[in-house]
C-alpha cells in the first residue's frame, strides 16, 4: 500500500482574491483548503479585519488560512499593473466589495475577461443584480428583511442568528459556483475553455435558508411561526432544565423512540396511554404532556440524562458554548481541530498565539483537508510573488520604497 497521499483536488489552481470581512474570504478559504494557491491582495495598511476587536477579532484568523498575502497600493498605476499581472495567470478572481468598486479600479469582469479569457470571476454581493443591488447589505440586514430573524426570535422580537450564516454560506456558494465554472471550462468532452462570471449574494442566500418556511405557507396556507413558539413536528423536541441548574436538549422523534424513552425512565403508564400512542397524538398532547416530562426529568443531572439517551441511541445534546468545543472529545479524536498560529487579538500589533481551529466539515477518502499555511502576515509573500512575476530585486526595492507594495521588512 502506497504512503503517497493523493494530491488535493485544486492543486495547480491559482486564485487571486480581493476580499475582506467574511463572505469573500470564506470562498478563498474553501478553495485554499481544497488545494488551490490563494493570493490575498491587501492594501498597504492591511485588511481591516486584521485590526477588529470584540466579536470580529476572530474573523481574520478564521477565514484566511492557506493563503498568501501581497500588499499593494492599487490606487497607483504601478500597483494596478502588479495585480493585473497576477490575474493574467490566475484561474479564479474573487471579490466582495461594493457594486462598481472593482470596475473603477479597472478590475471589472469585462476588463479582466479580455485580459484572461479563462478566468472565473466570482463576485460576492449583498444582492444579485436587480432593484436592491445598490443597497449596502450586512448579514443582519438580510436576516431582518429575509425572514430569518423573524423565525429565530420570539414573537415580536426578531433576533439575528448567532453566527455569520449568510456571509459564510454566501462564500460557500461562491466557491461552489467557481468549482462549477472551472469544471465547465475544463471538461474533457464539452469544455468551453473559457471562464465565466459567478455571482453570489447575501439576500438570495438568506431566502434559500427560509425556503422551507415559504413552502410550508405555499402548501398549507399556514404561515410558519417563529421557532420559539412554533408547533413542533415532534412531541418531545425541546430543552429541559435539570437538578443541577444545567440544560440539555432532548428529542423523541418516532414511535419506536417513544417506547424506548418510556422504558428507559420507567414511564410504563405513558407508554400504554392511548392518548400518546402516535407521534401526532403526542404533539396534540404537548400542553399537558410536556409539564409532566419536565417535572419528572428535573430530578436528573445533565450527565445522567446524556448517558441514558446515549446508551439507548436517543437524540440529545448538551448546551455548549463555542469555547467548550476546544475540548470536545469527538473533535479531538477525529482531528477536527488543527493547530494554527493566529493573531492574539485585534490590535494589529503582530502578536500571535498557538491555538486550534476547526477544519472544513468534510473528508476525502477519510482524510480531513489540512492547514498548509497559517493566516499570513501582512505582505508576507509580496517579494516572492513580485519576483515570480518577473520583477528584479532592484525593481522590487523601488516598488517598496515608493509605497507601491509592502512587505514585513519595509
In a domain, 357, yes or no: yes
List the domain range (segments joined by +) for residue 69: 14-210+338-406
Give me the mean pLDDT over the 88-98 stretch.
97
- pLDDT level of residue 255 (50, 70, 90 thresholds): very high
In DSSP notation, 171-203 reads HHHHHHHHHHHHHHHH-TTT--S--EEEEEEHH
The answer, yes or no, to whether residue 1 has pLDDT greater than 50, is: no
**Is the CB of residue 96 less than 8 Å from the CB of residue 127?**
no
- pLDDT level of residue 344 (50, 70, 90 thresholds): low
The whole-angstrom separation of Cα 391 and Cα 383 is 9
The alpha-carbon radius of gyration of the chain (Å, integer) is 26
Reading the block at residue 57, the C-alpha cell is 477579532
In a domain, 3, yes or no: no
**DSSP bridge partners of 71:** 42, 406
What pLDDT is attached to residue 349?
Answer: 54
- Count of domains for the chain: 2
Give me the mean pLDDT over the 313-319 stretch.
96
The answer, yes or no, to whether residue 5 has pLDDT greater than 80, is: no
- CA distances in angstroms from 7 to 365, 370, 401, listed in the order given: 12, 12, 39
The answer, yes or no, to whether residue 409 has pLDDT greater than 90, is: no
pLDDT tens, position by position, 48-62: 999 888 878 899 999
The answer, yes or no, to whether residue 305 has pLDDT greater than 80, is: yes
pLDDT tens, position by position, 274-304: 999 999 999 999 999 999 999 999 999 999 9
In DSSP notation, 69-115 reads EEEE-TTSHHHHHHHHHHHHT-SEEEE-SPTTHHHHHT--HHHHHHH
- CATH number for the domain harbouring residue 238: 3.30.1540.10
Please indicate, yes or no, whether residues 187 and 284 belong to a single structural domain of this protein. Answer: no
What pLDDT is attached to residue 350?
Answer: 61
Give me the mean pLDDT over the 70-91 stretch.
98
pLDDT tens, position by position, 22-45: 999 999 999 999 999 999 999 999
The answer, yes or no, to whether residue 351 has pLDDT greater than 80, is: no
Helix axes 255-265, 302-311, angle to 10 degrees: 130
Please indicate, yes or no, whether residues 94 and 122 belong to a single structural domain of this protein. Answer: yes
Please indicate, yes or no, whether residues 313 and 343 belong to a single structural domain of this protein. Answer: no
The answer, yes or no, to whether residue 355 has pLDDT greater than 90, is: yes
Backbone φ/ψ region at 390: left (φ over 0), alpha (ψ -120 to 50), beta: left
The answer, yes or no, to whether residue 233 has pLDDT greater than 90, is: no
236 compared with 229, residue with greater pLDDT: 236
- pLDDT level of residue 16 (50, 70, 90 thresholds): very high
Q: What percent of the chain has pLDDT over 70?
A: 97
Q: Under DSSP, is residue 292 helix (H, G, I), strand (E, B) or coil?
A: helix
- Given the C-alpha cell 466539515, which residue does it identify? 361
Domain final position from 290, 322, 354: 322
What pLDDT is attached to residue 160?
Answer: 95
- CATH number for the domain harbouring residue 128: 3.40.50.10540
- pLDDT level of residue 149 (50, 70, 90 thresholds): very high
Please indicate, yes or no, whether residues 116 and 255 belong to a single structural domain of this protein. Answer: no
Edge-to-edge strands of the sheet including 92-95? 196-201, 120-125, 92-95, 14-18, 37-42, 67-72, 405-406
Domain final position from 322, 346, 364: 322
pLDDT tens, position by position, 369-382: 999 999 999 999 99
Reading the block at residue 312, the C-alpha cell is 439507548
- pLDDT level of residue 189 (50, 70, 90 thresholds): confident
What pLDDT is attached to residue 49?
Answer: 92
The answer, yes or no, to whether residue 162 has pLDDT greater than 50, is: yes
The answer, yes or no, to whether residue 383 has pLDDT greater than 70, is: yes
Please indicate, yes or no, whether residues 204 and 297 belong to a single structural domain of this protein. Answer: no
- In eight-state DSSP terms, residue 56 is G
Please indicate, yes or no, whether residues 312 and 367 belong to a single structural domain of this protein. Answer: no
User: β-strand 236-241 against 37-42: which pairing, if any?
Assistant: unpaired
Reading the block at residue 338, the C-alpha cell is 488543527
- pLDDT level of residue 347 (50, 70, 90 thresholds): very low
Give me the mean pLDDT over the 347-352 stretch.
61
- Nearest CA among 109, 91, 86 for reference residue 99: 109
Please indicate, yes or no, whether residues 52 and 82 belong to a single structural domain of this protein. Answer: yes
Amino acid at each position: 500500500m502506497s504512503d503517497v497521499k493523493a494530491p488535493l483536488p485544486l492543486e495547480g489552481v491559482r486564485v487571486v482574491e480581493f476580499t475582506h470581512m467574511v463572505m469573500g474570504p470564506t470562498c478563498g478559504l474553501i478553495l485554499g483548503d481544497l488545494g488551490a494557491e490563494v493570493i490575498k491582495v491587501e492594501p498597504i495598511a492591511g485588511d481591516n479585519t486584521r485590526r477588529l476587536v470584540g466579536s470580529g477579532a476572530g474573523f481574520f484568523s478564521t477565514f484566511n488560512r492557506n493563503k498568501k498575502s501581497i500588499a499593494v497600493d492599487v490606487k497607483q498605476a504601478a500597483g494596478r499593473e502588479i495585480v493585473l499581472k497576477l490575474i493574467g495567470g490566475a484561474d479564479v478572481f474573487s471579490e466582495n466589495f461594493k457594486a462598481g468598486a472593482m470596475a473603477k479600479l479597472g478590475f471589472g469582469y469585462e476588463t479582466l475577461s479580455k485580459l484572461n479569457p479563462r478566468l472565473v470571476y466570482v463576485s460576492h454581493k449583498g444582492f444579485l443584480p436587480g432593484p436592491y443591488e445598490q443597497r449596502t447589505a450586512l448579514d443582519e440586514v438580510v436576516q431582518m428583511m429575509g425572514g430569518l430573524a423573524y423565525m429565530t426570535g420570539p414573537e415580536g422580537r426578531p433576533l439575528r442568528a448567532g453566527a455569520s450564516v449568510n456571509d459564510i454560506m454566501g462564500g460557500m456558494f461562491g466557491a461552489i459556483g467557481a468549482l462549477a465554472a472551472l469544471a465547465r471550462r475544463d471538461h474533457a468532452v464539452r469544455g468551453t475553455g473559457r471562464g465565466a462570471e459567478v455571482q453570489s449574494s447575501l439576500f438570495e442566500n438568506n431566502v434559500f435558508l427560509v425556503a422551507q418556511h415559504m413552502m410550508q405557507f405555499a402548501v398549507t396556507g399556514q404561515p410558519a411561526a417563529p421557532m420559539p413558539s412554533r408547533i413542533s413536528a415532534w412531541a418531545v423536541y425541546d430543552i429541559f432544565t435539570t437538578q443541577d441548574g444545567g440544560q440539555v436538549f432532548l428529542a423523541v422523534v418516532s414511535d419506536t423512540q417513544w417506547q424506548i424513552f418510556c422504558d428507559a425512565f420507567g414511564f410504563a403508564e405513558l407508554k400504554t396511554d392511548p392518548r400518546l400512542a402516535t407521534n401526532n397524538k403526542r404533539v396534540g398532547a404537548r400542553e399537558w404532556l410536556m409539564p409532566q416530562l419536565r417535572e419528572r426529568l428535573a430530578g436528573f443531572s445533565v450527565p445522567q440524562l446524556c448517558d441514558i439517551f446515549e446508551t439507548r441511541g436517543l437524540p440529545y445534546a448538551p448546551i455548549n458554548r463555542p469555547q467548550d468545543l476546544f475540548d470536545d472529545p469527538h473533535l479531538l479524536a477525529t482531528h477536527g481541530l488543527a493547530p494554527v498560529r493566529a493573531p492574539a487579538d485585534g490590535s494589529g500589533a503582530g502578536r500571535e498565539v498557538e491555538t486550534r481551529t476547526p477544519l472544513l466539515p468534510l473528508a476525502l477518502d477519510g482524510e480531513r483537508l489540512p492547514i498548509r499555511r497559517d493566516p499570513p502576515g501582512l505582505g508576507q509573500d509580496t517579494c516572492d510573488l513580485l519576483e515570480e512575476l518577473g520583477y528584479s530585486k532592484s525593481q522590487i526595492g523601488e516598488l517598496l520604497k515608493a509605497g507601491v507594495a509592502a512587505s514585513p521588512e519595509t
